[in-house]
Structure formats: C-alpha cells, structure tokens
Amino acid sequence: MSLRHALLGLLSEDPASGYDLLKLFENSLANVWPATQSQLYGELGRLADAGLITVRSEGARGRKEYAVTDAGREELRHWLLDVPPVPIRRYDMLLRVFFFGQISADDAIAYLREQQQAAAAEGERLAELGKMIAPHQDNFTVYGRLALEWGLRSSRLHQEWAEWAIGEVKAHDPAANTDPCEPG
C-alpha cells in the first residue's frame, strides 16, 4: 500500500490534481515506486473516501485539486516513523543466473554483458536526471538526491558485478571465446 503514501507525501508538499501528480511522478518517485495513470486516479478516489485528502477546488476540464487533511498528514507520519520498509528481493535478472547451466558459457557471457551495458545506460540516465534537477532546492528535491545517489551507486555495483561474473564464467569454462584470446 505504498502508492497511497507516495501520494500523501507529494500532496503534503503542495496541493495538486491527479494529472499534476502523474507528471510529478515521472522524474522523481517513478524511479523508486512506479505507478500508472489508472492506479493513481483509483488511489486518489480511495484516499478521498478515507478522508485522508479532500478536493480543495475544481477547475476547468473537470480538474480536481486535492490537498491532504490532518488525518492524511498523521497517516503519512505514521508510515514514515512506525512502518518498517519491506526489503524487496525479486530480481528477474539474478534468477536467470541460477540457470546458466542450461545455456552455453558464451550465451551466459553475452547475457552478463547486456546487463552491464543496461546498468551503464541506467547510470547515464540518472546522471542526466541529476543535472536536470540540480537548481531546485525544495525539500523534496534535496532528499530525492539521496535516493538518486543510491541509484548511481547501484548502477556502478551492477556494472562491476557483471564484469566480475563474466570473469567467473570464463574461469569455469575456459573454452568460452566471446572475448578472443590465444588458446593455450
């Protein structure tokens, strides 16, 4: 139920419409908690029903601007302070690694190289994001940068691990010829 708190958190900084929130997500929370448009509108409805947010004003094209209520602020604080985050361990990418025995060493190495490149690209993307948000000094951006740093370190970890793992696979099957080197 974290989307609920993501929305409460965004609305705690500034009132906004569903559409606004959707845009706000794109360059910030979507990196740590993706949400689709339909999910977002659905959750806003439920939050309003629960009295955690209210429609502060209605504008053109049916636009509804939401603001948090005191109950909503309370719920957000409770979640921040009392609910321990659940460590997520669900890595599609690592699952495949367990089954490398089912494919050739060359295919395994190709897989790892792709992962390494994907991680490098992700690092690039985050670095760009960092430049883009550089001027802002609001709380949300300041603390978001902590998350960004996590992402940068994580993409480095992915790259370094993949390189290391390629070495391990080669050591395990010296016949692998992806990176040509004189056979002994």
Nearest Cα neighbor of 170 from 160, 157, 158, 180 is: 180
From the list 35, 52, 165, 169, which residue makes contact with DNA (rule: CB under 7 A)? 35
User: Residue from 70, 92, 179, 182 that binds its own copies (CB under 8 A)?
Assistant: 92
**β-bridge mates for residue 54, sequence order:** 67
Query: C-beta of 71: minimal distance to its own copies in Å?
Result: 15
Nearest alpha carbon to residue 24 among 39, 6, 42, 38: 6
Q: Which of 79, 106, 127, 129 lies at the binding interface for its own copies (CB under 8 A)?
A: 79
Residues 79 and 15: their CA atoms lie apart, in Å, by 20
Spatial separation of the C-alpha atoms in residues 182 and 184, rounded to whole Å: 6
Least distance from DNA to the Cβ atom of residue 183, Å: 43
Q: Does 88 bind its own copies (CB under 8 A)?
A: yes
Contact between 19 and DNA by CB under 7 A: the answer reads yes
- Residues 96 and 115 sit within 8 Å (Cβ to Cβ): no
Residue of 84, 76, 71, 65 whose CA lies nearest to 9: 76
Residue 47 DSSP symbol = H
CA distance 67 to 138: 18
Figure out which of the listed residues 89, 135, 175, 184 binds its own copies, where binding follows CB under 8 A.
Answer: 89
Sequence-ordered list of residues with C-beta below 8 angstroms from that of 88, at least 6 positions apart, any chain: none
- Contact assessment for residue 53 and residue 74, using Cβ atoms and an 8 Å cutoff: no
Say if residues 158 and 165 touch (Cβ distance below 8 Å).
Answer: no
Q: Which is nearer to its own copies, 58 or 160 (CB)?
A: 160
Query: In this chain, which of 45, 51, 167, 174 binds DNA, going by CB under 7 A?
Result: 45
Q: Does 38 bind DNA (CB under 7 A)?
A: yes
Among 27, 32, 36, 173, binds DNA (CB under 7 A): 36
Three-state DSSP state, 56: strand
Task: Please report whether residue 103 would count as binding its own copies according to CB under 8 A.
Answer: yes
User: 60 is in the binding site of which of DNA, its own copies, none (Cβ under 5 to 8 A by kind)?
Assistant: DNA
Interface residue list for its own copies (CB under 8 A): 2, 5-6, 9, 12-13, 28-29, 31-34, 73, 76-77, 79-81, 84-103, 107, 111, 114-115, 118, 122, 139-140, 142-144, 146-147, 149-150, 153-154, 157, 160-161, 164-165, 168-169, 172
Interface residue list for DNA (CB under 7 A): 1-3, 17-20, 34-39, 41-42, 44-45, 59-64
